[in-house]
Structure 1
Amino acid sequence: MANQVEPKLIQPLFDELQKERFVTLATVDYETGGPNVSAISWVLAKDESTIYFAVDNRSRILENINKNNKVVINLIANESTYSIQGEASLKEERLPEVPLKLALVEVAITEVRDVMFYGSKIVTEVQYDKTYDKKAAERLDNQVMEAMKKA
């Protein structure tokens, strides 16, 4: 059975990407040419064809995208696992109104593929806990998500 492929986000995925959440991001390493996978959480679907994410502006992710803009965001949601392919570009070198020096990256989606293996579904989604000051983390998360929504 072939996996479902869409040219843009389906509604349940768009809805899941309206809040901070755990995803992995695959880029092509600018030094080795091999795969590079990072875990990120400041991610937002701007519309069905565009995803924004924020990372430290010194991140290797940015160097990788500068050399090769092809990316894959791996999202576990909707009882499945999705590979969201796209072309990334630096939208803003520094997000305004955020105390950290974070860059905003825009991903133009080229393909959304359900990559869950046949005959199975996700029954528990990934959860994580911030290990530093909870109030400071919540304040920062809100600042970053609001800045991305305004972009």
Structure 2
Amino acid sequence: MANQVEPKLIKPLYDELQKERFVTLATVDHETGGPNVSAISWVLAKDESSIFFAVDNRSRILENILKNNKVVINLIANESTYSIQGDAHIKEERLQDVPLKLALVEVTIKEVRDVMFYGSKIVTEVLYDKTYDKKAADKLDKQVMDAMKKA
């Protein structure tokens, strides 16, 4: 049985990407040409066809995107695992109203593929906890998500 492929986000995925959450991002490494996988959490579906994410402007992710803009976001949601493939570009080199120097990246979605292996479903999604000052983390997370929503 072939996995389902869509040209844009389905509603449950769009809804899941309206808040900070754990995803992995695959890029092509600018030095080796091989795969590079990073975990990120400041991610937001702007609409069904585009996703924003924010990363430190010194991040290797940005160098990789400048050399090769093909990316894959891996999202665990809706009882499955999804590969969201698209073209990325740096929308803003410095995200406004955020104390850290973060870049805003926009991914134009080309394909959303359910990649969960046959006959299974996700029963527990990934949870994480911030290991630094909870109040400061919550404040920063809100600033970043609000700034991405305004962009």
- Normalised by the length of structure 1, the TM-score is 1.00
CA distance in 1, matches of 2:7, 2:36: 24
* 1:1-151 alignment runs, 5 A limit: 1-151=1-151
Count residues in correspondence.
151
Deviations 1:88-128 (A, max 9, x none): 00000000100000000000000000000000000000000
Residue 142 (structure 1) shift: 0.1
CA distance in 2, matches of 1:43, 1:12: 15
CA distance in 1, matches of 2:110, 2:69: 12
Residue 24 (structure 1) shift: 0.0
CA distance in 2, matches of 1:22, 1:117: 20
Residue 42 (structure 1) shift: 0.1
CA distance in 2, matches of 1:58, 1:83: 26
| Aligned-CA RMSD value | 0.1
- Normalised by the length of structure 2, the TM-score is 1.00
| Structure 1 segments (4+ residues) deviating >4 Å | none
CA distance in 2, matches of 1:99, 1:37: 26
Contiguous gaps of at least 5 residues in structure 2: none
Letter in 2 for 1:86: G
**Secondary structure of the structure 1 residue equivalent to 2:46:** strand
Residue 46 (structure 1) shift: 0.1
